[in-house]
Structure 1
């Protein structure tokens, strides 16, 4: 019997990327401080200092290895999901950040094996039964194709969260119980 496939994003889903990038931005460009609440869209050009390009904002060497865990529950809940389901980590990555992301995973979740680690920006091309993500560009296509999703709420997905009514999870506490319910009760809408 095959297990359902749970696809889990990394950045701003199991760890905090945007908050850490803002931290470094505000040190480097104190005349253009950013706040997490300002990040209502992927295009942050109007918010940043002109010298803080996308490459500078997200391209700081070592950035992806220094990210904080999403919360104190994420590691244990991911361990439970890994035991119960066919868990894959699906993350968008630049070639230079792949190793950083893998190193982060091995430091915090060494139970994730290499064959479970997939770098892919267009997640709708993959087969999965449930997607946990923060990116509207991943959640909407999965949801519209009839697959189950869980949204990690952030300012940049608030509009889609309200429009589509995605099930959401602002903490990883009891995540496996929520996923069990969503997968075993086809009418479940949290």
Structure 2
């Protein structure tokens, strides 16, 4: 029997991009933007200078230095024991991000093979049983089970199964496990 497949987004799911935006913004402007101010807002618009946020996305080192989402390393490693796991990230929109994302994954998730890293533009081509993502634009056209990872920009989404952290994701998949016949 083939193992079920999980497609996992990187930014906002494995990499804590929101706290990274906040930190980079504070370092460059001296203004600490509270995360609550970002609720329900597209990422750039919650900041007083949204253009600066867009600039970060094109700045060398931005994607490479993102913090790891708490609990993601342990949870992804455990999922890989039972599922076929692919990291699926939209990397071609910001060309320098491609190599930075590969380096980031190799450092923080060394147990993920390059064969399980998928970098693309649109994720509409992704075929899996489950997708964990923080964006409606990626989940909307996905044919498998859609798992929304909570982020401030998606606070108003109500049409998906929502998960606030990796512990909740791990618990969800623990319930999905089917015991092997003895």
Q: Please give the residue correspondences for 1:109-148 in structure 2 after superposition, counting only pairs within 5 Å.
A: 109-142=109-142, 145=143, 147-148=144-145
Q: Deviations over 1:102-126 (max 9, x none)?
A: 1111111111111111112421221
Alpha carbons 1:29, 1:49 under 8 Å: kept:
no
- Equivalent pairs, count: 175
Aligned to 1:188: none
Alignment of 1:1-190 (within 5 A): 1-30=1-30, 33-39=32-38, 40-42=40-42, 44-45=44-45, 47-49=47-49, 52=52, 54=54, 56-71=55-70, 73-93=71-91, 94-142=94-142, 145=143, 147-160=144-157, 162=158, 164=159, 166-173=160-167, 175-182=169-176
Do 2:8 and 2:86's aligned partners in 1 also have CA atoms closer than 8 Å? yes
Partners of 2:23 and 2:138 lie apart in 1 by: 26
- Render the CA deviation track for 1:36-65: whole Å, top value 9, x for unaligned: 2233333624734275261x1322321212
CA distance in 1, matches of 2:46, 2:155: 19
Are the structure 2 counterparts of residues 5 and 35 from structure 1 closer, same or farther at C-alpha, using a change threshold of 3 Å?
same
Whether the aligned pair in 2 keeps the contact of 1:5 and 1:130 (CA below 8 Å) is: yes
- Offset at 1:139? 2.0
TM-score normalized by structure 2? 0.84
Consecutive unaligned residues in structure 1, runs of 5 or more = 185-190
Aligned to 2:6, the other structure's residue is in SS state: strand
CA distance in 2, matches of 1:9, 1:51: 24
